[in-house]
Structure 1
Amino acid sequence: MNPTTAGRYRVLGRPRDPSELLLVSVDGGDADRDRPDGPPEEAFSPAYVDTSGYDGELARVVAGLHAGALVDATLSWVDSEPRFDRVEVVADTVFEFYDGVTGVFEAAKRAWMVAEAEHEGMNGRVTKNTDGEPNGALYVFAKQSGARDLFEEFRTGVTPLDPLVSRVDQGESVPPEANQPRAVFVLRPLDEPFLVVYVVFRRDGVLAETMRSTYGPGSGPAGASATDAGTTE
């Protein structure tokens, strides 16, 4: 009997190979109770899970997984390599990574100005729409010097995004992620000294769609602002 690990995981897409999904545990996992020596060491590390060779409903669910999805899954470890035994989507959140963007919106620039004024390497704030309702949690981080690449660390899970996502459930008067999936945008501006992580509370809301049209593939003219979606002070 192969050892199994059951737990909650964040899917980080396919950064290494199209045939693999990268999963990172968000709760430490739960070892197969029939295994006397506990789970394999790999169970508590980022896991690259093979996506080929599944049948039926499991194959359909695995094929639909994407970066950002929060899942409950059971992994079976065969020769220290994980495969899905079971997977259920808890929240269909999306992570979107855009490199070399221009025309960064003013709320991000102002957040960075505060960080600089306070001699801090990061800053965060809640944004609101024109009706005064919270619509996102905005974070700016100093670009790292030397060999460290913070954008790539976020993309591959070396530096987890999950604490920024889960903080919304703990502190904001918005429905939990399981009921209202998020859209998390990670932007590396071409000509700014900071990175942006924007946890937008509604995955398919106006603000999220504006971010995609501004910075995503086929986006509009550089310089468009996320304030067009109602982001305010």
Structure 2
Amino acid sequence: MVVRIEPSILSADFSAFAAAIARIPSADAVHCDVMDNHFVPNLTFGLPMVQRLAQVSALPLDVHLMIDDPDRWAPGYAEAGAQTVTFHAEAAREPIATARSIRQAGARAGIALKPGTGAAPYLAAIEEFDQILVMTVEPGFGGQQFMREMMVKVAEVRRAVAGRDVWIQVDGGIGESTIRIAAEAGADVFVAGSAVFGADDPDAAITALRALAAGTAPS
């Protein structure tokens, strides 16, 4: 299994994003949480910030849209330079059309599932997505406790992938005590916020998390 670690910029210093990204050279991507204070009760940043991050980041951007009306807005994030744009199933009116629009704009298309959202309706059209994000907390805020019961859903998605080039991402409460649990369930992309940017050496934290997910370090 290829392990991908994506630090969440939401846990970095908002006044020094470029410097924060420079401290994580071994990361596979920078995870950007876009929140609109409507779909979730929190407000972060939007398209202009992602455009700027794409200009200053040496790493790919994985944009997680926690917003209303992603059908309208998601393709613009692909056009801004994101490698992956993930939108929430619960907010999309036409998820397959939106995924196709993201791909047409040049990015990988991901769909995110809140803890209470079943995977089955979306797994039936799994070839339309490049990534499935299983939320392991309720979306909206960092620092929440990992929901171990979501590993059943991760395993369900892993079975459905069945050799396809579809990444399985987990987001929420990922750290040294939880990343191996998620990896064993079938996840291969891990979003970590405070576990990386809260460390004295963020890049060393990435190395440690990668080893734990790969099963090459003690848990």
Q: TM-score, normalised by structure 2?
A: 0.26
Q: Which has the larger radius of gyration?
A: 1
> Which structure has more strand as a fraction of its residues?
1
Q: TM-score, normalised by structure 1?
A: 0.25
